[in-house]
Structure 1
């Protein structure tokens, strides 16, 4: 049995230590992401509560025609799914509405129904709600900006605008309605962040920016798979160099192993979580194409060497 020198033993110990250290670090990052609280944004810039009269600090609001500052609307945005492999990566989420403060009148016949007409101007639709009627949730799908070819370090973003008004008729927008927005949800294999930005001084408009990245575990797993592919092709390359420089005889098992590597690499590549089916990503350029080319060269070298040996006999 061949003996391992100190260099190979040190390399093995260092590799195992790196993997052991990587596991708790990635696990801790994923734990923090999984236990992160809901994001909250209160849209009244001059107050920190749901629909508190924004004129309470003495600032003039004549330009906003603010007559019902005590009314407010809460929005719960829940991320449902995300598919980066569709044409123009698509994010699916739904919005639930809950009237607050004076928007829920004591004489409302249905719990949670608005006491006055409400109009929501969404980026993709306009919704009108009659008084004393349930405000059903709205399912939304948006196309995000991003390049999946940068896997596993691709980033996707989209801005979604929401405006709210009390609508006295179908021809006018009515009075601006302050918003309080919550966002939550998780997508397997991704890290979803939400950024809120107020658009109006009266609190009636909000821009929600979704930023979606691969989760730390996905990135770490992809990098480990790339390293594994390099080690596989590197091992066969070392064997080929040993045959070449030491003039060793090529055995059939060596040819079988190098040929099997060509079939194994695509499957190992596809084991990366969420990688696009079509090759051409950043990880492919770093951890698949070069190894595959090296593997093809090694197979050709072993085949030619084996044929030369057979002819020499």
Structure 2
């Protein structure tokens, strides 16, 4: 076999290994994406589900969305909710990661195990527990608040009183479920900071707080940024927690975020064309954030 043939085989080998996985991804994700894109430009309702040809809508679905004040209300709530949950998750995650550095081995192992159990818990199971905690009549939260003298919280309906209290509970649920992964990831990065750097800083008189603030956190800044961007992407697309809590007593029309708004438009109202257009808008936002994530990922890997 000639050298040219062998070199050609070596060049093709990586592509041949990637081909099966790439084909599967294109089939699993490519077709639904193309179908969703086409439907976003059509009037596609329940009749089309039973075979009636869809009418071409052009940009009318998108025009109806951007001219609807309710969409902008949901959009603004989604951005603010995402900023709050992602921000608090990162702040608490960094705090827990720093705390784990200061714990002894046994306590840290217990702490890590607890975080992993919380992270691995199925979403519906954890949501059931949260609904028990905020139950108006027998929930632990109302019992605790009334036991310390806050009688206004007797039989208080956290999920149905108004959208502020609903979002407060929903954000607590999302932060609680997202915190373990953030904390463990940042702790793993912090534990890789060279010990000689910290020793030199300690010799120079740097306190523990100064070491964390001025040395350790800046050194893992790329990891924190990557996790932060991913957290924003996840929280912008949140659906399960909001939907389940709405079914438990939330006011859906006032508490919709982008994920539940798409579901309500498509499944509940049967307007799949409009729902597809909404999903494409969410996809655009996600792609913008993903582009930033990929840029940061390449920068971290030393790629240009």
TM-score of the two chains, using structure 2 as the length reference: 0.24
Which structure dedicates a bigger proportion of its chain to strand?
A: 1
Which structure dedicates a bigger proportion of its chain to helix?
A: 2
